[in-house]
Amino acid sequence: MTDSRIRPTRTRKLLTALLAVASLACMVGAVLSGLRLDGVDVPVIGASSAVTVSAEPAGARVPQARPDNPRPPRNLIRMVPDQFDVVVSQKELVGTSIRHIVVQPDRVQLVVGERSVWAATFASLKDFDGRISLGDVGRLVARSPFPDALRQTSPGVFLLQVGLAQMPGTRMEFVSPEVTELRLAAQPYVYVVGVGAQVLFNETKVTSWLPEENRPDDNPFHRRPFVSYDEGGRLDIINSEFAYLGSDSSKAYGVSWGEATTGEATRSVFHHNLFGLYTSKAVDVTFRQNVARDNAIYGFDPHTSSTGLTVVDNDAYGNNSHGIIFSEDVRDSVVRGNRSYRNGGNGIMMDERSDANQIRDNQVFDNRGDGVVIQGSSSVLVTGNQVSGNRVGVRVNANELGPTQNTRIEANHLDRNQIGIEVYGGARGTTSQGNQIRDSADQAIVLTEPTTSISDTIAGARKALVVTGTEVGARDLRVSNVETGVLVSGPGRVNLTGPTVDARDVAVDVEPGGHVTIAGDGPSATLSGARKGLSVEGTADLHNVSITDVGREVLVGVAGRARIEATDIVAGSKGLEIFGTQTQSRVELLSSDVRAAEPVVAPTEPAQPTWPLTGNELSAVPSWLAVAGGMFLALALALHLGSRVHSQADSCRHKALPAGVGGGGQAG
């Protein structure tokens, strides 16, 4: 019969053996860690793949036309004679058969070429109250030798088949229910224009028309009719619709406010025009609560020295090119609270010296081009916007058409763009402050021109801040959930003050020719979470920086140089690793604390560098695997010794028992 007291001893031996095996595994892991086999670069399964970005400048990209709304080429033809000659220069019409209805302050004329062939006074109308309406003009024309020039085809619906021009000083109304729809015959020299005149469209639809097909002309390549007011006039549009208008000639793009002309468009829809709405040298025009959609080129196009514009609470979408564009000296204007989305070009753009404008509190998303673009324009404020799903969230660049200076990008939310902010092409004095840039498919901020970043937050990107060939200052930068935190390419230079960078691969990467300065003066400077804290192939200057919770802290390449002062380095394996020769002439370590399994390593030199211990604290801290292995080994040894002592005690006690005691002898 087996002694039952032997069983616990065997159990303890089995437990001791298992602990010994575990401790041996930990020790092997610690050795492998010391050999850096666990530090080999491996692909990250499930990590975001890199997104290829075209090297072609964004300003040169031409978005493809929408298949359901073809984009005509810009030929920039000039109408000869033009639409205003019947008012300002009738000699240009000599010898032509172009027909016009001309509205004078007191009468209506029919003009063929430069010749007046018929006239009638408003006073001849019964109950005329002094306000000229399209209905009044239509009743007079119905008495003329050319009644088909303007006729009412059904209650409230008028068909215009010649040009209608207002003379200076006239005011005319197109107002429902008298006029619910104005159809402009789709043929040359059919339009509604005025010079120094005023007009009101209220609850009226204006569209091109093909009488024989009983439908609008939906081909933007055709020479379609339009509405255009010029030279000190006023054009007001309320609760109306303008559709299928415009051709590619000056101020004939659809609906146009011309030189010194003012007015407003409110709660109206502009669709399937060449341009939705256009201004040229206009003043103080207001666009409020309108929709510009599905136009062949632009949605809103303030242009050519227009000033004092207010573009507020509008929608621009489905346009073939840009949703809202200011171009060529458009100044002192505000774009606020608009929604510009799913356009073939950019969402909102300042172009060709469109200076001193504000882009505030807009929603700009899912455009084929970029979100907000400042190109060749200066002193523009971009603030409070929500920009998402574009190629670049906010793009700033100069070009041959104008300088770009002093752009301010402040407090914007830039989400899910391929690139968050991009500054290039000669832009100067750009400031990015308080922006939140999230989930960029590629880079969050890309800078190749001088820029200042203040309190920007980046969360989610392949690369957070990329600087190439320029000097950048960044204060209080916050970076998280990125592969690379800061990448500096030569001859770029970045001054980081008080950054917090939490990256997966490299917190700060300085390529050859690059220079980075990281300082914790005032705010603390922290690099953490990365496989490599700081990789230096160029030059790095660290002061009062905390580098923690990373695999390998500071790596200095064969041509790299680093000055590290008042800095705490806590690494899992290696604290400061220096490649190449002349390590101590290339790397200064001053008043710093380096704690790692191997505080300082120079694998290519026969001897380890030895900095003066004065002011520096170099501590060899074993890795957690080594510590765990040691603890397991100590515990196993203790259990083993305890088991042997217990076994020896049992043996001695057994030998000392009298014969017959212990259950093995016979009964007395």
The 10 Å Cβ neighbour count of residue 123 is: 9
Cα gap 369→298, rounded to integer Å: 13
Three-state DSSP class for residue 325: strand
pLDDT of residue 29: 44
Cα 245 to its chain centre, rounded Å, is 32
Q: Which tokens in the block code for residue 365?
A: 């998303």
From the list 529, 580, 586, 582, the residue with the least C-alpha distance to 558 is 580
Question: How do the domains of the chain map onto residue ranges?
Answer: 103-297, 453-649
Q: Where are the alpha helices (DSSP H) in 478-595?
A: 583-586
pLDDT attached to residue 509:
98
Q: Could you tell me if 335 and 324 are in contact, meaning their C-beta atoms sit under 8 angstroms apart?
A: yes
pTM equals 0.83
Determine the Cα–Cα distance for residues 50 and 58; give it in Å rounded to an integer. 19
- Distances from the Cα of 53 to the Cαs of 64, 146, 446, in angstroms? 17, 61, 12
Please tell me the predicted confidence (pLDDT) of residue 276: 98
pLDDT of residue 644: 57
pLDDT of residue 600: 87
User: Do residues 605 and 583 lie in contact, with contact meaning Cβ atoms separated by under 8 Å?
Assistant: yes
pLDDT at site 149: 98
- CATH number for the domain formed by residue range(s) 103-297: 2.160.20.10
CB 489 within 8 A of CB 513: yes
The series of mean pLDDT values per 10 residues for the chain, 668 residues long, is: 42 48 45 33 28 32 50 78 95 96 97 97 94 97 96 97 98 98 97 98 98 96 96 97 95 97 98 98 98 98 98 98 98 98 98 98 98 98 98 98 97 98 98 98 98 98 98 97 96 96 97 96 86 95 93 89 93 88 86 89 67 65 46 51 55 49 38
- For residue 667, what pLDDT is reported? 34
> What is the Cα–Cα distance from 147 to 294, expressed in whole angstroms?
35
